[in-house]
Amino acid sequence: DQQVKQNSPSLSVQEGRISILNCDYTNSMFDYFLWYKKYPAEGPTFLISISSIKDKNEDGRFTVFLNKSAKHLSLHIVPSQPGDSAVYFCAASGSSGGSNYKLTFGKGTLLTVNP
């Protein structure tokens, strides 16, 4: 039973355009959500997060939107750059700021930004 779902295994966009990566979750106990970027044979690197008390968080070119009623979040990257090409993982936690920071990951979406 996949509690965090990324239904698009891949996404291809043109440089300069917006990339929108989607994520759905089923566990209503999740209250903290994160996006990670991962290159092959490397560990994930943190991008941006959002707490369930917010519906938007922005950091430079990256914006995460959270729709709690739909149990859906999305990561917007604008403008997209070729260096953004990587696998993006959505992750969720049910203990934001707590000592047991267990994360549940989606399967990831491979983003390719074409020059």
Partner 1 sequence: GAVVSQHPSWVICKSGTSVKIECRSLDFQATTMFWYRQFPKQSLMLMATSNEGSKATYEQGVEKDKFLINHASLTLSTLTVTSAHPEDSSFYICSAGDGEQFFGPGTRLTVL
Give 82's strand partners.
Answer: none
43 in contact with partner 1 (CB under 8 A): yes
* Measured distance between the N- and C-terminal CA atoms of the chain, rounded to whole angstroms: 38
For residues 54 to 73, the per-residue mask of contacts with partner 1, x marking binding by CB under 8 A and - elsewhere, is: --------------------
Q: In what order do the strands lie in the sheet with 19-25?
A: 4-5, 19-25, 72-77, 62-67, 56-59
The residue to which tokens 């989607």 are assigned: 22
Shortest CB 44 distance to partner 1, Å: 5
Tell me which stretch binds partner 1 (CB under 8 A): 12-20, 58-66, 72-80, 104-112: 104-112
Is the preceding peptide bond at 115 cis, omega within 30 degrees of 0? Answer: no
Residue from 23, 80, 106, 113 in contact with partner 1 (CB under 8 A): 106
Q: Which residues in this chain contact partner 1 in the complex, by CB under 8 A?
A: 2, 4, 9, 36, 41-46, 89, 97-108
